[in-house]
A and B are shown apart, each in its own frame.
Chain A
Amino acid sequence: MATVQSAPTTQLQSTTVEKRFQISPRRAQILWGYFFLIPWIIGFLLFLLGPMVASLYLSMTDYNIQRPGETKFIGTDNYEKIFSLQVIRSESTDVTFKQGYSEAFRIGPLHFGSRDYQVWKAIQVTLTFAVVSLPINLSLALFFALLTNTKVPGVRLFRTIYYLPSVIPAVVAATVFQQFLRGQDGWLNVYLLHPLGLGNPEWLQQTNLAIPALAIIGTWGVGTTMLMFLAGLQNVPTELYEAAEVDGANYWSRFRNVTLPMISPVILYNLVIGLIGTFQYFVVAYILTPRGAGGNGLSMYFYNLHLYREAYVFFEMGYASALAWILFIVVLIVTILVFRSSSRWVFYAGGK
């Protein structure tokens, strides 16, 4: 009996063993894939996950940098503060809100009060800047990439020159651009606007010029984006153009039908990175406004500046963490939407 029973068992075992050594190609694929992800997974667990979880926890406390010992768990109160709104309908400019609320913004007769009125200003500034600056920078970078992807004499020098402002150290750039944007002796006014009869505006003081001033500075820094586009352009095969030319397509239609689809993966990259960068816009606004306080009338008061000031100027790290997580969720949703839409306009030659 024993032998009768043992035979199938052994057989069974040997099949399992065999199967274990003969991993299906599909599974091998998966294992190899994860194998190559190991560096990132280790780094994520070691250096990134902990601080992220910590900040998520802090966002639900009243952690104050000055008084860490008194930290209490306060649940979603920080988040409630960000979204607190009280609406009052009144034709008068002077309305009284609840205790702790002040006017954040106004649409016609509707007055909106909030426990953190500055966050609304910050959202407005950040969105306006994103709408103005991101398209300009992306198209300019693409334009420069196309310009310098030619065989003009000295093109390597031109490429280096367009890239040059991107490598100016931030501390130095602050001084340079502060000078450029000054009213009385700034180069922008002295050499460009004044000769054109456009006067001497004080770019960093006039509230309506704040966003344009930052957008202008931003155009000096398109070098990295240009670099990415250049890398993408190197991957466009010549045959496609020749074929298009045979079809009688002119330059613009070739650009639209060949060049753009072929570099669309890089466009997606630059768009997503640009979005993240714009929503986290901080350094320039911080160094160009006195005390990093966001300029006159909070005209350069970006979301991240608000977050930074709450954390390091007013010590409210708990609240700042909540602000950060709201930004995190919003940007992540936007990113997901962009990725969703990308299946319609991004072309991957090796793609799925």
Chain B
Amino acid sequence: MERLRGFLSNDNVNQRGYLKREVYQVLGAGTLLMIMVGVAIVYLSPLVYMGSTALKTEGQLSDPDDPIVPMSPETYHYVSPDVETFRYTYRHSQMLDYQGQQLPVYDVIQQGKILKYALLETRDNVSVFIDSENPDAAPIELEIATEDLKPSLVNERLEVNLYNVSYEDVKGKFGLVEELEGNRTLWMNPEAVNDPPFELPIAASDADIARNTQDLIMYKVPIDGETRELALLETGRRGAKFLDPKNPDAEPLELDVRVRGLEKVWKLDPHPENFTDAMDAIDYVKLFGNTLFIAAVSGLGAMVSATLVAYGFTRFNIPYANILFLILLSTIVLPPQVTQIPTYIVYNKIGWIGTFFPLIVPHFFSNAYNVFLLRQYMMGIPLDMDEAARVDGANPFQILWYVIIPAARPALVAVYLFHFLFSWNDFQQPLIYLGGGSGNTVLAVGLANFTRIYSSQQNLMMAAGILTMLVPLAVFFFAQRIFMQGVVITGVEK
């Protein structure tokens, strides 16, 4: 160690370059590159997964065979000879056949129950009902105005054939509910299932019957030793029917294959619009601005304050420095879960809840992580340089400015980066002080919007996640230049 110290007191220390050559020479360029690429593949894999997910639709993601590259199966547009049908619930009012009378049935709400009562008669304020489920019981008199009553509906589940109808100004695809006498027909509109059916003076044969169209999924089907690309028409338990798109008029091929065991015919189908959808979903631009502001400003505070405090700890022989330093460290040793509520009370008292202040201001008063790092680094800077400066009459600020800061530059950049990236991804504090969910918050919290209790939008979350990582990665990539330049200590500038 003494030998090392001897070398370091040498004024003209050029620290650049040598170590870089060192590893290079020992391992050899080829081996080194191979190791680096291998590690890079492992370290890129989370991003690959994110990118793959971000470019897919939910449909692609739920396909258990989906490849990493976003793909969709080829389809074949098929117009089948079958009639297109429509299943729906036909709700209509109910009548009760009561002693030869047809009585309308209403929903009568009594003591938390919906009762289906048929209205027999109304007298003044009183309505007389028959319980439709027990018509033989005595009539019930209730003080209910009939205009407040809703007719009781019965549900009839129908499957109707669809026709392309064109009659005067009534045009569209409608379902045939009933053919009435005298070339009249009753129709329903599949676009408005709750509307009552309507009647047209045309016969069913006057309208064009609608044909079922389908996009059939293409599979690679092995037949007699060769693999053919066929469209799946119908799946059965033991076999399946396929169509050959090259020969669509031929009879469907009935094959003894299991569809889930077949490979689909894939085509590239990325969905970059997920990125814009994700940005729209969480007000990305605003959250991005908030995050950038908080990270950049608080990073600055963290760097500046840590520089001052670490300088104070390392370059002045102050009494109780060790104890003070231990107190400094102890502030990050206590688990934050138990100080969260008292801290919240402090910020609530001074009206900072819902503002950015709790996320920025405390960092201007330094924290243990940064001070500790800079302390370690500053203690590695030889003392004789500030001695020289002091002899030249420099005051402590000048020494800090001209000696320490230039020498500790990589560590300063590291502190800024470290804090910027911490702040960029910090979740717990913005969550507590700005509130979760939505509104004026930061990206890390906004991202949580995509994980949901009953549903999730992983593709959008991954897209937003990638967008969120871009800035820290860019900052890191470019900060390296400053960071890795190394330090050239040539003595004290005068």
Give A residues with C-beta under 8 Å from B.
Answer: 26, 29-30, 32-37, 39-40, 42-44, 46-48, 50-52, 54-55, 58-59, 65, 144, 146-153, 155-173, 175-177, 179-180, 185, 187, 220, 224, 227-228, 230-243, 251, 254, 258-259, 261-262, 265-266, 268-269, 272-273, 276, 280, 282, 304, 307-308, 311-312, 317, 320-321, 324-325, 327-328, 331-332, 335-336, 347-351
Pairwise interchain contact A36-B39, C-beta atoms closer than 8 A: no
B145 smallest CB distance to A (angstroms): 48
Shortest distance from the beta carbon of B490 to any chain A beta carbon, whole Å? 13
Given A150-B20, A171-B451, A335-B329, verify A235-B378 contact (CB < 8 Å): no
Least Cβ–Cβ distance between A10 and chain B, in angstroms: 33
Is the beta-carbon distance between B10 and A239 smaller than 8 angstroms?
yes
Instruction: Give every chain B residue within 8 A of A39 (Cβ-Cβ).
Output: 305, 308-309, 364-366
| Beta-carbon contact of B312 and A36 below 8 Å | yes
B109 located at the interface, meaning its Cβ lies under 8 Å from any Cβ of chain A in the complex: no
* Bound CA span A159–B326, Å: 33
B residues near A242, Cβ cutoff 8 Å: 18
CA separation between A21 and B245, bound complex, in Å? 101
Interface of chain A, helix or strand or loop or mixed?
A: helix
Cα distance A158–B480 when bound, in Å? 11
Q: With A and B bound together, what is the CA distance between A336 and B327 in angstroms?
A: 11
B462 and A33: CB pair below 8 A? no
Which of B80-88, B126-134, B162-170, B467-475 is the interface stretch? Answer: B467-475
Are A240 and B23 also in contact (CB < 8 A) when A33-B312, A33-B318, A172-B447 are? no
Residue of A nearest to B36 (CB): A158
Whether A307 and B338, one on each chain, are in contact in the complex, defined by CB atoms closer than 8 angstroms, is: yes
Instruction: Let me know if B406 is at the binding interface, CB within 8 A.
Output: no
B317 to chain A minimum Cβ distance, whole angstroms, is 6
Total number of residue pairs linking A and B with CB closer than 8 Å: 339
A304 with B334: CB separation less than 8 A:
no
A34-B312, A273-B369 as given contacts; A235 in contact with B333, CB under 8 Å:
no
Contact A52 B486 (CB under 8 A): no
Interface with A: B70-78, B181-189, B200-208, B420-428, which one? Answer: B420-428
Question: Whole-angstrom distance from the CB of B485 to the nearest CB of chain A?
Answer: 8
A residues less than 8 Å from B5 (CB atoms): 349
Instruction: Contact check, A232 vs B377: say whether CB atoms are below 8 A apart.
Output: yes
From B489, which residue of chain A is reached at the shortest CB distance?
Answer: A237
Nearest-neighbor residue (CB-CB) of A185 within chain B: B64
Interface string of B6-36 (1 = CB under 8 A from A): 0110100111111111111010010011011
- A121 vs B13: C-alpha distance in the bound complex, in angstroms? 53
CA distance A261 to B450 in the complex (A): 47
Q: How distant is B153 from chain A, measured CB to nearest CB, in Å?
A: 43
Contact string against A for B residues 348-375, beta-carbon threshold 8 Å, 1 for contact and 0 otherwise: 0000000000000010111101011100
Q: Decide yes or no whether B376 CB sits under 8 A from chain A.
A: yes
Which A residues lie within 8 Å of B21 (CB)? 150-151
Across-interface contacts of B317 in A (CB, < 8 A): 26, 29-30, 33
A152 touching B32, Cβ below 8 Å: yes
CB of B100 within 8 Å of the partner chain? no
Which residues of chain A have C-beta atoms less than 8 A from B369's C-beta?
273
> Of B19, B443, B465, which one neighbours A149 at CB under 8 angstroms?
B19
Known contacts A176-B50, A187-B49, A349-B8; is-contact A169 B465 (Cβ 8 Å): yes
| B contact residues around A348 at 8 Å (CB) | 379-380
With a cutoff of 8 Å between Cβ atoms, the chain B residues found around residue A268 in the complex are 376
Q: How far is the CA of A324 from the CA of B424 in the complex (A)?
A: 27
Chain B hits for A237, CB < 8 A: 7-8, 13-15
Docked Cα-Cα span, A325 to B328, in Å, equals 16
B480 CB to nearest chain A CB (Å):
5
Which residues of chain B are within 8 angstroms of A163 by Cβ–Cβ distance?
Answer: 473, 476
Q: Are B316 and A160 in contact (CB under 8 A)?
A: no
Choose among A232, A233, A350 the residue with the greatest number of B CB atoms under 10 Å from its CB. A350
A33-B317, A162-B40, A187-B45 known, 4 other contacts, Cβ within 8 Å: A33-B321, A44-B328, A171-B451, A241-B18
Q: A30-B316, A147-B39 are in contact. Are A332 and B330 (CB under 8 A)?
A: yes
Residues of B contacting A240 with CB < 8 Å? 4, 7
* The 8 residue pairs across chains A and B that have the minimum distance between CB atoms: A43-B365, A36-B312, A33-B316, A238-B18, A51-B342, A172-B465, A33-B318, A54-B342
Chain B 430-472 per-residue mask, 1 if CB under 8 angstroms from chain A, else 0:
0000000000000110011011000000100110010011001
Cα distance A349–B413 in the bound complex, in angstroms: 21
Does B59 sit at the interface, judged by CB under 8 A? no
State whether A328 touches B333 (Cβ < 8 A).
yes
Question: What are 24 A-B pairs with beta-carbon distances under 8 A?
Answer: A33-B312, A39-B365, A40-B366, A46-B362, A50-B342, A51-B342, A54-B339, A55-B342, A150-B32, A155-B36, A159-B480, A169-B465, A170-B444, A171-B461, A175-B462, A224-B418, A228-B418, A230-B483, A240-B7, A280-B335, A304-B337, A307-B338, A335-B326, A349-B4
Q: How far is the CB of A335 from chain B (nearest CB, A)?
A: 6
